Structure 1
Amino acid sequence: MSARIAAVLDPQIALMAGGHHAKAMPDRILADPRMANVRALILGEAEPRVVALLEDERRRAELPGVMWRDPLLGTHAAGIPRQSTATALLALDVNTLPLVNRAFLPQDPYTAPDGRIEANIVGSRGCPYNCTFCGAAVSANPDVTIRVRRPESIIEELHALHDEHGVTAFRFVDDLFLGAGRVITEQMAAFTRHGTGDRFVWDATGRINVLDRLTDSELDHLVANGLREVARVRSPGRNRSTKPGVLVRANG
């Protein structure tokens, strides 16, 4: 679909491309003649590299994880980063990013089937597990560390979305929001301090072996803080029966 769109654009329009497909199959994209106007194919988290490219396209030569096709030789080229900047550009500090400007997301927030105003939100980036089917697998992202947003930053975004759009339901679209007991404890302590469960409901992905290690009291604490649904990532081991108030949905 992206290639079909790119093929009919004015040749003078320079394109940047990214996303999961770019990470998985960069050579295929650059070899497609319909994508000839792609000046930068960005692999992985793109925010600071997009800014650098918008300031000066020639900077692509020094940016890690940026590829393009030489129009004369037809070969593929890639940026060669300075070691001092590579890590910051590939695995940026998520707590330094501003809140998402929803003016550019007309489909979010949206009215959910239950009538609530719902929004997607990201509380962390990266995943410590190595599922073979997943683009976020740790072995596929050797330069990307696991980063979790400060609880206060997440709560600030929840309240901002409620104040601006009337949102009362949230879906954490992280690779794995409920993926570590330490993180769950820290986040839920903040949710309790701010009475999040009294105002909002939320859904998240969870690792079943992590949830299995939680006590009934800890699971009840999640529900009291607004947890409505867990999209489960399976792992070996026994399953705990679902607590009342939490729908566990299998997720391959």
Structure 2
Amino acid sequence: MKFLLVFPRFKYPSGDPPVGPLSLIAYLRRELPSVLVDFFDATFTPSLDAIEKKIELFSPDLVGVYCATLMYEDALKVGIIAKKHGARTVFGGPHSTMAPKSLLSRSCVDFVIIGEGERPLVHLLESYPDMAKIAKNTAIKIRGMKNQENMAKLQLIDDLDDLPFPAYDMVDMGRYIRHWFQMDVVSPALRGTNVFASRGCPFSCSFCQPTLTSLFGKKIRFKSPERLIEEILFLKEQYKINSFIIDDDTLTCNKEWLLKFCTLLEEKKLCMQWGCNTRVGLINEKILEIMSKVGYRRMMVGIESASQRILDEVYNKGIKIKDAPALISSAKEHGVKVFAYFMLGAPTETSREMQKTIDFAFTSAIDEATFSIATPLPGTFLASRFMQNHYRGNDDFSKVDYYRGNPRTVSRNIRSLRLRQKLAFLKFYLHPKRISFLLKSFSSIIAIRKSMLKLKRLVQVKGR
């Protein structure tokens, strides 16, 4: 039995390796040693011809395709190629979980996995080609099979420490590290990568729920601090990194875990600079002081809007905008750079409210910011809100792009919204206090290469 997993990231390449798919590959290699497993990462080889050549040479029985909504169109093209060469296909990932019918209606899709992929995929590979046996796992949906309307039972990994390290050997980690820009605001010379400490999210933000609950269940699960330290030490020794980002959305909601992690960083003398996401209201002065003493240098925080009405009524964010300046100020006092996420164009959002958000970002002590266009991903509460406000449904997933917006779903003229987005970036980064960072972003060939990856999110690149 041969299994090939394809990660079809054609748009917006970055230095962030596909840790989720690599974790899945590592799990398969451990649990099914008799199955020959391979991986194709399109991040630096965005070519359907290259994927087809890989399938021809490897000749897999099954081709797995990771499918986020932003990858939907390219994922289907991979499925068509796989079927052309006699392989069956299984799709997984967030889009597969939230909109399985959009895939199972396509002849290039044979199976769709709902939720976490490790256990259902092992069941599929062990049972293949016995369809009756495969169908016993409700997390696996089969194209053309009747009576599959029952709720999928998630097959979750209870103890994340039981997972092997991601299969970093399956990708060009050297190239990923060279393109990694997450800590450039601290120093473009830092070598680093992303790691994950948990699965799940306890919050109810409308733009990503119930997706996270549908994927990972209602309970948030953490690796032990000791296990994550082991993985970071492995990456440091194997790839000579001196920096990392913990890419979980809500790492700081577990303060006991966080304090233990900081203690271990000090005891192990890792001497690395790092960053993580947090939320307004989740982190206090004392914890920030402890984190900064063990190398914490970049805080990423979702503020989304400076309008409390939008935060409450549309995004269900659960934060108070009045508390954001104190968090930013506290971070700066401890030498921590601040990156903030904002969105423009929410349902019912007025031009005045958008301008308020842009002005808030401009006048604050934030070091970096991104301004995405509010985009309803399938199955989210935000998608329902768009429909309630009579905006057109997003049935063409190939047009979904939260960096540039979708003309079918935005709450106003798309050109005007994209122009406002570009002006927001210009106003923010041309502020005199941010000019030094801007100049540093173009100070070397490596820095320029990384900056171009960021700019692709604003400037549409035609052709491939």
TM range (shorter): 0.7 to 0.9
Equivalent residue for 2:301, pick from 224, 232, 235:
232
SS at 2:135 equivalent: helix
Q: Distance in 1 between matches of 2:246 and 2:302?
A: 14
Q: Which amino acid in 2 is paired with 1:67?
A: K
* Structure 1 portions without partners, runs of 5+: none
After superposition, the Cα gap between the structure-2 partners of 1:55 and 1:137, relative to the gap in structure 1 and judged at 3 Å, is: closer
Q: Distance in 2 between matches of 1:76 and 1:11?
A: 29
Q: Which amino acid in 1 is paired with 2:121?
A: V
Q: Distance in 2 between matches of 1:137 and 1:8?
A: 28
Higher deviation after alignment, 200-209 or 52-61: 52-61
Structure with bigger strand share is: 1
| 1:19-168 paired onto structure 2 within 5 Å | 19-33=93-107, 35=108, 38-57=109-128, 58=130, 59-70=133-144, 77=148, 89-107=155-173, 109-111=176-178, 112=180, 114-135=188-209, 140=214, 143-168=217-242
Structure with bigger helix share is: 2
Please tell me whether the aligned partners of residues 126 and 136 of structure 1 are also in contact (alpha carbons under 8 angstroms). Answer: no
Q: Distance in 1 between matches of 2:214 and 2:118?
A: 20
Q: Distance in 1 between matches of 2:96 and 2:147?
A: 14
Higher deviation after alignment, 11-20 or 187-196: 187-196
- Deviations along 1:65-85, whole A, 9 cap, x unmatched? 221212xx6x5736888xxxx
Please tell me whether the aligned partners of residues 63 and 79 of structure 1 are also in contact (alpha carbons under 8 angstroms). Answer: no
After superposition, the Cα gap between the structure-2 partners of 1:144 and 1:49, relative to the gap in structure 1 and judged at 3 Å, is: farther
After superposition, the Cα gap between the structure-2 partners of 1:101 and 1:251, relative to the gap in structure 1 and judged at 3 Å, is: same
Please tell me whether the aligned partners of residues 229 and 249 of structure 1 are also in contact (alpha carbons under 8 angstroms). Answer: yes
After superposition, the Cα gap between the structure-2 partners of 1:41 and 1:13, relative to the gap in structure 1 and judged at 3 Å, is: same
After superposition, the Cα gap between the structure-2 partners of 1:218 and 1:80, relative to the gap in structure 1 and judged at 3 Å, is: closer
Please tell me whether the aligned partners of residues 104 and 111 of structure 2 are also in contact (alpha carbons under 8 angstroms). Answer: no
Please tell me whether the aligned partners of residues 40 and 60 of structure 1 are also in contact (alpha carbons under 8 angstroms). Answer: no
Q: Distance in 2 between matches of 1:140 and 1:118?
A: 31
Please tell me whether the aligned partners of residues 128 and 138 of structure 1 are also in contact (alpha carbons under 8 angstroms). Answer: no
Q: Distance in 2 between matches of 1:142 and 1:46?
A: 10
- Deviations along 1:15-40, whole A, 9 cap, x unmatched? 1111111122111111123x3xx332
State the identity as a percent.
Answer: 22
Alignment RMSD (CA, Å): 2.5
Q: Distance in 2 between matches of 1:202 and 1:142?
A: 26
Q: Which amino acid in 2 is paired with 1:208?
A: V
Equivalent residue for 1:207, pick from 279, 287, 293:
279
Q: Which amino acid in 1 is paired with 2:170?
A: F
* Counterpart in the other structure of 1:8: 81
Larger radius of gyration: 2
After superposition, the Cα gap between the structure-2 partners of 1:137 and 1:41, relative to the gap in structure 1 and judged at 3 Å, is: closer
Q: Distance in 2 between matches of 1:153 and 1:3?
A: 36
Please tell me whether the aligned partners of residues 173 and 239 of structure 2 are also in contact (alpha carbons under 8 angstroms). Answer: no
* Cα offset, 1:136, TM superposition: 6.1
Q: Distance in 2 between matches of 1:187 and 1:230?
A: 16
* Counterpart in the other structure of 1:250: 340
How many residues end up aligned between the 2 structures?
236
* Counterpart in the other structure of 1:193: 267
- Deviations along 1:110-143, whole A, 9 cap, x unmatched? 1245133212111111111111101466664683
Please tell me whether the aligned partners of residues 125 and 175 of structure 1 are also in contact (alpha carbons under 8 angstroms). Answer: no
Q: Distance in 2 between matches of 1:136 and 1:64?
A: 19
After superposition, the Cα gap between the structure-2 partners of 1:125 and 1:66, relative to the gap in structure 1 and judged at 3 Å, is: same
Q: Distance in 2 between matches of 1:142 and 1:12?
A: 32
Relative CO higher for 1 or 2, CA cutoff 8 Å, sep ≥ 6?
A: 2
**1:221 partnered with 2:290:** yes
Q: Which amino acid in 2 is paired with 1:204?
A: C
After superposition, the Cα gap between the structure-2 partners of 1:141 and 1:93, relative to the gap in structure 1 and judged at 3 Å, is: same
After superposition, the Cα gap between the structure-2 partners of 1:78 and 1:99, relative to the gap in structure 1 and judged at 3 Å, is: farther
Relative to the length of structure 1, the TM-score reads: 0.82
Q: Distance in 1 between matches of 2:258 and 2:118?
A: 27
